Structures are given as structure tokens and as C-alpha cells.
């Protein structure tokens, strides 16, 4: 019979090994050279980026373009996309193609879109389109009876119209869902590895006030990315892998704040993300300061975390209101 001392020693060894392995895995992610080249195969490899007319999507597209990919830029505003195309062409000679489709629309014809790329060798898809940003009018003062301050700024589920909720669900979840379904057979035809990245958010990891629909749509994406990845590896494994990207605060068109270490510009963020493409993780926090920022969320007590999150969101709401 093992003594209490032996049991505690055994547990100590197991926990220490786990901590050392986690640390090694953590450090290796941020120190290892990029493996992006795995996806640069075939004579003319293409990367397709949704929501690429601005913000993080545009920055990722630009980074991939500068590293040798031809790109397909998706957006809803053709003129804005054409301006991005012109900007890219000044800095390189690879092909730039455009795909205009409103991600909130259930009418998007994915099969038709894919037919037009039948001769293109697509090896990377970045499912980036998404937004937490309310449309004007959503963050109006809401009257809550019997409260000391009757007019409280809030964004409760019942203060958002059904139409707007459906738009959020389509853009953030269903558009990538149906697009994945349509493009998978094409990716499987690639002559080497192909990968799809799903741009998520910390809001999809844990509950956050004022972001109920957004957080739920990003959780959907995380579950979906993981399951699709497993599907592709079961039976006869395919060449397609998936990665869910957990994003923290990044300066972008819909998040206009002053850049700092924990809120990098879209360009700095995109560089760190593109460097990690091909790293083999199923869930990824590509930007090191975000990883350091997220780490305590796994260890501090729930009540304390809720308090921090609430405070942080109140600050964020003030910024949104100012805009």
C-alpha cells in the first residue's frame, strides 16, 4: 500500500511533467520558424481571405501576397475591394481576384463562386469575415424599471432586432459554415496540404457581457473548426486541416483604438498569424502578448474573472459609444 508521501510525490511528478511539456509547447510555437511554405505548392498557389477589404482580413491578405501567394479577396463592397486590389498590385506581381458577396445574405451562391475558380489551385482559406460591432442605434439607452439609474447603456438580447441577430449569425457563423461545405471538395483536390483558418475571438471562449450573439457565433466556429478537422483526419485522411484562431484586441476598421502592446495594429497581428500558419495546432493564439494575456483566464477564480471582464467591457462600450 502506497504511503501518503508516495502518492503526493507521484502527483507532484505528474503535474511537473505536464507543466514542463506545456511550457516547451508554448515556447516552441513562438520560436519555431514559419512553416507557411508547406502551402506554397503547385505552380500558382492561391489563398482566399474573406472580409479582406479592411482590418485584419486585408492585413492577412497583404502579408500572404507579399510571401508569394496569389490571393482571392472577398468583401461586400466592390469599389473598396478594387482599391485594395490596386494597392496590392503596386507591391507585387502575383494575381489578385475579387469575390463580392454579402456575408449576411442567405442567398449567396457558393457553388457558382467556386465554379469561377475551377482552374485555380487554392491551398489556404482564411474565414475572417465577422463582426461584434453593433450597427448604429443598437447601443441606445435602455430603460430598466426600478433601478437607481433608470437609463442604463446596455445591449441585451431582447433589445436587438431579429433581423440584426440573423445578420450576425449569418455573417459570423453560417457564411463560413456553408462556404466550408462548398469549398472542401476543391481543397481536397490540391496537390499538397491545404488549410482553413477560422478567425475567432476571446468572446467565444468565455461568457462576456454585451457580446452575447457575437460570443455564441464564435463558439460555434470553434466547435465547427475542430469537428471538420477531425472529419478530414478520420477514415482515409485528406490533405485538409483546420485551425481556430483565438483573437484578442486588434486595431482595425471596426476597432479604432490606440495601438499598444496588447492591441496591435492589424498589420502586426497579421504578420504573427501568417508566421504560425502550418504550425499544426488546432486552436491557436498567434500573437504572444495575447497568449500571455489569456493565460490567467485559465487559472483565476470565475468570480474574479467575471469582474475583470465586466470592467473591461464597460471600457470597451465607452469607446464604441464615442465613435
The residues of the shown chain that bind ligand NAP, judged by CB under 6 A, are 51-57, 75-77, 80, 102-104, 128-132, 171, 199, 201, 247, 249-250, 252-255, 266
Q: Specify the residue, 66 or 254, whose C-beta has the smaller distance to ligand NAP.
A: 254
Name 240's bridge partners: 194
Least CB distance from residue 71 to ligand NAP, whole Å? 13
Closer by beta carbon to ligand NAP, 123 or else 128: 128
Please tell me the distance from the alpha carbon of residue 177 to that of residue 309, in angstroms, as a whole number. 29
Residue 190 vs 275, nearer CB to ligand NAP: 275
- Nearer CB in complex with ligand NAP: 119/258: 258
Q: How far is CA 109 from CA 50, 76, 114, 184, 196, in A?
A: 15, 14, 9, 15, 20
Q: How far is the CB of 108 from ligand NAP (least distance, A)?
A: 9
* Calpha distance 284→229 (Å, rounded): 14
- Choice between 247 and 274, CB closer to ligand NAP: 247
- Least Å distance between CB 249 and ligand NAP? 5
Longest Cα–Cα distance in the chain: 76
Least CB distance to ligand NAP at residue 255 (A):
4
E-strand spans in the chain? 45-49, 70-75, 96-100, 121-127, 141-143, 151-153, 194-199, 240-245, 283-284
Task: Select 62 or 171, whichever has its Cβ closest to ligand NAP.
Answer: 171
Q: How far is the CB of 148 from ligand NAP (least distance, A)?
A: 33
What are the Cα distances from residue 256, in Å, to 55, 283, 320? 10, 26, 9
Query: Is residue 242 within 8 Å of 198, Cβ to Cβ?
Result: yes
Of 186 and 255, which has the nearer Cβ to ligand NAP? 255
C-beta nearest to ligand NAP: residue: 55
Cα–Cα nearest to 241, from 285, 205, 188: 188
Element housing 7 (H / E): helix 4-31
Q: Cβ 84 to ligand NAP, closest distance in Å?
A: 9
Q: Which of 53/242 has CB closer to ligand NAP?
A: 53
Q: How far apart are CA 251 and CA 77, in angstroms?
A: 21
Q: 283 and 244 in contact (C-beta within 8 Å)? A: yes
Which phi and psi angles does 161 have, rounded to 5°?
Answer: -70, 155
Q: Is the dihedral of CA 207, 244, 279, 36 positive or negative?
A: negative
Nearest-approach distance from CB 65 to ligand NAP, in angstroms: 15
Nearest distance, CB of residue 112 and ligand NAP, angstroms: 16
Amino acid at each position: 500500500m502506497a504511503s501518503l508521501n508516495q502518492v503526493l510525490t507521484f502527483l507532484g511528478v505528474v503535474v511537473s511533467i505536464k507543466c514542463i511539456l506545456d511550457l516547451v509547447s508554448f515556447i516552441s510555437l513562438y520560436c519555431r520558424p514559419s512553416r507557411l511554405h508547406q502551402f506554397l505548392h503547385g505552380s500558382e498557389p492561391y489563398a482566399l481571405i474573406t472580409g479582406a477589404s479592411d482590418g485584419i482580413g486585408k492585413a492577412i491578405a497583404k502579408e500572404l501576397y507579399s510571401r508569394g501567394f496569389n490571393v482571392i479577396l472577398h468583401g461586400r463592397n466592390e469599389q473598396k475591394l478594387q482599391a485594395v486590389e490596386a494597392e496590392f498590385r503596386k507591391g507585387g506581381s502575383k494575381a489578385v481576384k475579387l469575390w463580392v458577396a454579402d456575408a449576411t445574405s442567405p442567398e449567396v451562391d457558393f457553388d457558382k463562386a467556386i465554379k469561377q475558380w475551377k482552374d485555380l489551385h487554392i491551398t489556404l482559406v482564411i474565414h475572417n469575415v465577422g463582426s461584434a460591432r453593433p450597427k448604429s442605434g443598437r447601443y441606445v439607452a435602455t430603460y430598466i424599471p426600478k433601478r437607481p439609474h433608470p437609463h442604463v447603456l446596455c445591449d441585451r438580447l431582447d433589445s436587438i432586432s431579429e433581423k440584426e441577430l440573423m445578420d450576425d449569425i449569418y455573417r459570423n457563423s453560417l457564411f463560413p459554415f456553408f462556404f466550408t461545405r462548398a469549398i472542401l471538395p476543391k481543397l481536397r483536390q490540391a496537390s499538397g496540404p491545404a488549410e482553413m483558418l477560422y478567425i475567432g475571438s476571446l468572446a467565444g471562449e468565455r461568457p462576456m457581457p454585451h457580446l452575447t450573439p457575437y460570443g455564441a457565433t464564435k463558439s460555434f466556429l470553434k466547435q465547427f473548426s475542430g469537428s471538420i478537422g477531425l472529419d478530414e483526419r478520420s477514415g482515409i485522411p485528406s490533405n485538409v486541416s483546420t485551425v481556430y484562431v483565438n483573437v484578442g484586441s486588434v486595431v482595425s476598421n471596426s476597432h479604432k483604438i490606440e495601438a499598444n502592446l496588447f492591441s496591435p495594429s492589424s498589420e502586426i497581428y497579421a504578420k504573427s498569424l501568417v508566421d504560425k500558419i502550418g504550425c499544426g495546432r488546432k486552436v491557436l493564439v498567434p500573437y504572444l502578448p495575447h497568449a500571455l494575456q489569456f493565460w490567467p483566464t485559465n487559472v483565476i477564480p470565475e468570480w474574479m474573472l467575471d469582474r475583470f471582464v465586466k470592467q473591461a467591457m464597460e471600457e470597451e462600450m465607452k469607446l464604441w459609444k464615442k465613435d
